[in-house]
Structure 1
Amino acid sequence: MTMAITQGLHHLGLTVSNIDQTRDFFVNVLAFKQVGAKPDYPAYFVSDGTTLLTLWQAKDPESAVPFNRHTNIGLHHFALKVDGAATLTALHEKLQAIADVTIEFAPEPLGNGPTQHMMLIIPGGIRMELTAPAQ
């Protein structure tokens, strides 16, 4: 089998409507660490120790067009993995109480397999999936 030329995701850059609100979501809710910032851009760099996210502020959030997964080309969603179904269930309960989070669907089986997943819109307008592999 031939190996791919690339070696995994280095980072993912997301343009958001409110960079501080999105940064706070990752740091305060998902326990990411802020590992850098570029105030003049502005941008924050946050990481869970495996995945690095670059959060960019939209220049004019009021006129920015939110992504529509049915009509736009671009990031449909991104997925982060948690350590199991119990963590996913607890996180779902926590996320329900956050005003700027929209839960698309609660934890459910992914396809026909034992992996669980849920989908949500995070502060800043990005669609995110959380997955809990079968143990």
Structure 2
Amino acid sequence: MAGKLTCGVHHVGLTVPDLDQARAFFCDVLGFDVVGGKPDYPSIFVSDGTVLLTLWRAADPITARAFDRRANIGLHHLSLAVANDDALDEAWEKISAHPEVIIDVAPEPMRPGSATRHFLVFIPGGIRLELATPFAKG
């Protein structure tokens, strides 16, 4: 088959233990907007104008098992793009200051010698989130 059947990500759905906590992180820290939701599911949809996230509350957050990226099949982490190094540094300042964020990898080159930088954290609710600058050409 010569042509690609897809043209990008439509949305990413994340199961979270607490919708209010997840909304507060994505909207208050990262600047996303609430663009919809389904109260009977319950869920909210948030967007930064480029990516749409569906945040679904686990049916029973108390008994839900946390995802183990090394043991389970599924989303290893969500990576969001930032415009440049200044934007990465600003995001790092805001996100790392959040009291419920756990630092996984502080800002660093994506690989040795790379101009592309990133960092990884566990956001409130335990999802692993990466922010990264654009891939450097060459």
TM-score when normalising by structure 2: 0.92
Match of 1:90 in 2: 90
- Aligned-partner Cα distance in 2 for 1:105–1:94: 15
**Structure 1, residues 32-57: CA drift from partner, whole Å, max 9, x if none?**
11000211110000011110000000
- Aligned-partner Cα distance in 2 for 1:74–1:116: 24
Secondary structure, in 3 states, of the residue corresponding to 2:60?
A: coil
Match of 1:131 in 2: 132
Match of 1:113 in 2: 114
Match of 1:74 in 2: 74
Match of 2:30 in 1: 30
Contact 1:13 1:54 in 2 (8 A): yes
CA deviation after TM superposition for structure 1 residue 3, in Å = 3.0
Is 2:53 the counterpart of 1:53?
yes
- Aligned-partner Cα distance in 1 for 2:105–2:39: 35
Match of 1:6 in 2: 6
- Aligned-partner Cα distance in 2 for 1:13–1:107: 26
Secondary structure, in 3 states, of the residue corresponding to 1:129?
A: strand
The residue identity in structure 1 corresponding to 2:72 is: N
CA deviation after TM superposition for structure 1 residue 108, in Å = 0.4
Segments ≥4 residues shifted beyond 6 Å: none
CA deviation after TM superposition for structure 1 residue 99, in Å = 1.2
- Structure 2: gaps (5+ residues): none
- Aligned-partner Cα distance in 1 for 2:84–2:103: 19
State the superposition RMSD in angstroms.
1.5
CA deviation after TM superposition for structure 1 residue 2, in Å = 3.1
| Percent identity over paired residues | 53
Contact 1:13 1:53 in 2 (8 A): yes
Is 2:103 the counterpart of 1:100?
no
Secondary structure, in 3 states, of the residue corresponding to 2:46?
A: strand
Number of equivalenced pairs: 135
Secondary structure, in 3 states, of the residue corresponding to 1:93?
A: helix
